[in-house]
Amino acid sequence: MTSKFDICFPAEGGIELAAWLFVPDGEGPHPAITMAHGYGGTRYHSLEKFAEAFVGAGFVVLVHEHRGFGGSGGEPRQDINPWQQIADWRRAISYLEAHPAVDSSRIGLWGPSYAGGHAIVLGATDRRLKAVVAQVPTISGYEQGLRRVPAEMSTKLEEVLNEDERAQLRGEPPVYQALASSDPAVTAAYRSQDAIDFNQQSMPAGVWDNKVTIRSTRLARMYEPGTWITRVSPTPLLLVVARDDKTTPTDLALAAFERALEPKKLVLLPGGHYDLYLSQMKAASDAAIGWFKQHLSSPLAATYSIAKSSNHGSK
């Protein structure tokens, strides 16, 4: 049997980040995978079953919640700053490095959706990672915003964002919108039924609020993780993409994959964005497990992978 622990680890500013730590049976140290949730979610948004699949394959797994979400500390709540989340994620990598059950030379990262964008940025900027998996990743906040917000609503959105900026100058508390809602009278980040169903899935009471700050939208529309994809190499990169993804559009992910350098792999699965957490979860997790086993299987294999990939180009 594997072991699951509720833990916390410190991040910048004295914030404690809540996480699950899964440790496989058998004598270590083991290779490890660090994971986190996407935009506005928590670790309860279908991440546990991925973690269970990974630990079942022999990996130590750390699943943390971003500051301001779930059990993690931080104010304001439900506030999404991608660069702060990336900085915090580096602390998760450091936590795994120092853990006695972990082989610090064999750490990989798995990120879905918005965190898939973080996976690309971290893969490009933190060489402690020896393999990266980005599932249905955010590639361009600007392009996604253009598709999500009807042209006739763009001016109103800009007015809302600008008024929020003025309110921040006045020292007023953050303004919130719903994360997912079909009610046209309610300002929301997501309106599709699959997004509503996924985000409002059954989970323990009190672990998630259906809201995010308005300023999170401005930061999301400024976030361009796809610009980092050419710099992930020589770290091995796997993109797991849904064929009919309207949330993080399929064509943006495919174009980003073409720009990425070796070693890289693309797995294209049927369905939409949320299907890869649900009906296509096994196929998605199997693809990730295969990638991690290939590149984190042993210290020698990890070293060989990096040395071999350097022949395909370096920074």
Count of domains observed in the chain: 1
**pTM (whole model) above 0.95:** no
Query: What is the domain-level CATH number for residue 122?
Result: 3.40.50.1820
Pairwise CA distance, residues 223 & 238, whole Å: 21
Whether residue 296 lies inside any domain: the answer is yes
How many Å separate Cα 9 from the centre of its chain? 18
Whether residue 252 lies inside any domain: the answer is yes
Note down the domain range covering 249: 3-144+224-312
Query: What is the pLDDT averaged over residues 143-166?
Result: 88
Whether residue 152 lies inside any domain: the answer is no
| pLDDT tier, 185 (very low <50, low <70, confident <90, very high otherwise) | confident
Query: What is the pLDDT averaged over residues 289-301?
Result: 84
- Greater confidence (124 vs 204) lies with 124
Q: Do the beta carbons of residue 90 and residue 62 sit within 8 Å? A: no
- Give the list of residues 6+ apart from residue 311 with CB closer than 8 angstroms, or none: none
Q: Do the beta carbons of residue 270 and residue 280 sit within 8 Å? A: yes
**Amino acid 2: pLDDT:** 87
Q: Kindly state the percentage of the chain with pLDDT values over 70.
A: 95
Q: Do the beta carbons of residue 130 and residue 206 sit within 8 Å? A: no
Whether residue 166 lies inside any domain: the answer is no
Pairwise CA distance, residues 296 & 305, whole Å: 9
**Amino acid 299: pLDDT:** 62
**Amino acid 297: pLDDT:** 85
Q: Which residues of 170-197 are buried (b: 16+ CB within 10 A; e: fewer)?
A: eeeebebbbbbbeeeeebbbbebebbbe
Q: What is the mean pLDDT of the chain?
A: 93
Query: What is the pLDDT averaged over residues 137-155?
Result: 88
Whether residue 101 lies inside any domain: the answer is yes
